Structure 1
Amino acid sequence: MRDSTRSGREENNETTTVDRRTVLKGLGATALVGPVAATGSTVAQSVTVIEVEETLLGGFEADGPLPVVDELFVFVHGWFGDTTVRSQANNVLGSVEAGGYTPDAAVAIEWPATNFWYPSAESDTEDVGAEVARLIEEYSDSGGGNVRLTGHSLGGRIVYWAATSIGSGYTIDTIGGMGTAADGSTVCPLGQWHSGIADNAGTVRNYHSQNDTTVGSAYGGIGDTALGTEGAPCDGASNYTDVDVTSSVGGHLEYLGDSQVGSDLASVILND
């Protein structure tokens, strides 16, 4: 939602980054995605899939606009999640609707994440996030209302990049990162996403679980944390909250459709 009253660290340790990416390459694709089974949740809204594809000149472009409604729910998948994006989105949406929130429309962003070279997929999240930000700007300019943006794993990176990339004067009303594949320091005062979260987002909830060993084995390190496992190692922006769902989420894929995640996110939205 456009708000004219609002103004619009990750430390790069080369050795740590290379080690992290080597670990992820060795894990294989199923470590961060694996099979996604349907939870049986019945959702009130059908999910519209919008594809974001790489262009011939570089960058990414969506194949259509966001539907213009008063309340819009958007989900972004992670690594290899493009093969099951609709079922993932339905699972997350079902848990949020079970918590009492039903949007006017729901969208799943499908991006080309089927890439066995994980560092490339990780790098693409910045450009995909910029395209998601552009979609939200266009949506707002067309008269759209509140945007509830959620993302899992690398999709969590995308939603935080969207907040960082979106133009001054635009607001992403709610952001929910689930098992985000990133270092915790990215949301700290010197981190790459801190200012975007502080200036361009309403309420931000970062869901993490100590049982998410997939993210925990690949991110963090000395003096840092894995954002999707332990949350941030610092106090983030005033609108940012780490939400520990260890008691409910038993692994990296279990955020999708989890009742505690859905209930908390719905409560935040309903009290907005």
Structure 2
Amino acid sequence: MLSMTDNDSPREADESTTPSRRTMLKGTGAAIVGTAGLAASSSSATAVSSWDIEVLEVGDSVFGIGSTPSIPVGDEVFVYVHGWFGDSTVSSQAADVATSMEDVGYEADEYVGIEWDATTINFPSAESETEDVGEELAEMVEEFYDDGGGNLRLIGHSLGGRIVLETVNHMDDDYEIETVAPLGAAADGDMVCEGSDGLFSDNWYDGIAANADEVRNYHSENDSTVGAAYGGFFGAALGNDGAGCPGDTADNYTDVDVTDSVSSHLGFLGDEAVGANLAEAAGVDVDDDDGWGWW
């Protein structure tokens, strides 16, 4: 059953020079994430094709050249952000997610894939890059609204889930994204909690509360990739367990448990239950007789 839960310190650095079990687990999970990113989901016939996705390159981390691209303006715009090693498959990944939403009646004026420099064997470097990409994407989102854009559905898988949360963290409080949706987010669960500022950056609580109409975090206990890489012994991995909050999450934050539907890290992409729930967040009247089960 798919269930939704409104929940009431980011990863701590190991100060010793001896590798901890948590560090080793993260390395193992990161390796799996890299391998998984090389392939796109192909769980259903594609109604939205890769050719329908306009790919925008964001955050050149090596040379910092080129201008910031613009999100095409429309009344309803779908934006997807890939994870580690997902550069070459961003179009097909985005098409799979969009198709799972269209299957229950969703339709966008524009379909966008955000491509960033994620092909590196250095996972910590890719993880660090997500903040810079999120900052640039925040500028693009603000420009989208300034130019008369309507509803924006911002969806990110794995490290892309970190990017969409970094995006709301870097936006001016005068802006609000309609839907922000991390899928199998590669992050610690307490990063969405009130009052748990990280060692190297603030958490995402304030950005979520100020700059999103609704955040839906999709997680599955079967996502052993992020489960191995994040959370530690007593914490929660955002894409595996959902928020792990000693305090509260923002009122507009919801954990969506898709364990019964999503069986792997890539399983979020094209999943029917995830797509139906995302479409419902976008205002589609989804028939609960189909058994999606979040009502």
In the other structure, the counterpart of 1:91 is 96
Judge conservation of contact 2:61–2:117 (CA < 8 Å) in 1.
no
Q: What is the TM-score with the length of structure 2 in the denominator?
A: 0.83
In the other structure, the counterpart of 2:5 is none
Q: What is the alpha-carbon distance in structure 1 between the residues aligned to residue 210 and residue 102 of structure 2?
A: 28
Q: What is the alpha-carbon distance in structure 1 between the residues aligned to residue 31 and residue 93 of structure 2?
A: 25
- The one-letter code of the counterpart of 2:268 is Y
In the other structure, the counterpart of 2:128 is 123
In the other structure, the counterpart of 1:251 is 264
In the other structure, the counterpart of 1:3 is none
Q: 1:43 to 1:88 in 2, by over 3 A?
A: same
Offset from partner CA, 1:140-170 (integer Å, 9 cap, x none):
1111111110000000000000010111201
- The one-letter code of the counterpart of 2:12 is N
In the other structure, the counterpart of 2:39 is 35
Partner-residue secondary structure (3-state), 1:84: helix
In the other structure, the counterpart of 1:50 is 56
Judge conservation of contact 1:207–1:243 (CA < 8 Å) in 2.
yes
In the other structure, the counterpart of 1:195 is 206
Q: 1:73 to 1:243 in 2, by over 3 A?
A: same
1:173 is displaced (CA, Å) by 1.1
Offset from partner CA, 1:79-100 (integer Å, 9 cap, x none):
0011100000000000111122
In the other structure, the counterpart of 2:283 is 270
Identity among equivalent positions (%) equals: 48
Partner-residue secondary structure (3-state), 2:243: coil
1:28 is displaced (CA, Å) by 6.9
Q: 1:25 to 1:224 in 2, by over 3 A?
A: closer
In the other structure, the counterpart of 2:12 is 12
More strand as a share of residues: 1
In the other structure, the counterpart of 2:119 is 114
Q: 1:184 to 1:196 in 2, by over 3 A?
A: same
Q: 1:245 to 1:27 in 2, by over 3 A?
A: closer
In the other structure, the counterpart of 2:239 is 228
Is residue 204 of structure 1 aligned with residue 215 of structure 2? yes
1:62 is displaced (CA, Å) by 5.7
1:19 is displaced (CA, Å) by 4.1
In the other structure, the counterpart of 2:288 is none
- Structural mapping, 1:146-225, within 5 Å: 146-191=151-196, 192-225=203-236
1:21 is displaced (CA, Å) by 4.4
Partner-residue secondary structure (3-state), 1:67: coil
Partner-residue secondary structure (3-state), 2:276: helix
Judge conservation of contact 1:206–1:243 (CA < 8 Å) in 2.
yes
Partner-residue secondary structure (3-state), 1:186: helix
Q: 1:135 to 1:33 in 2, by over 3 A?
A: same
Q: What is the TM-score with the length of structure 1 in the denominator?
A: 0.89
Q: What is the alpha-carbon distance in structure 1 between the residues aligned to residue 219 and residue 32 of structure 2?
A: 20
Paired residue total:
262
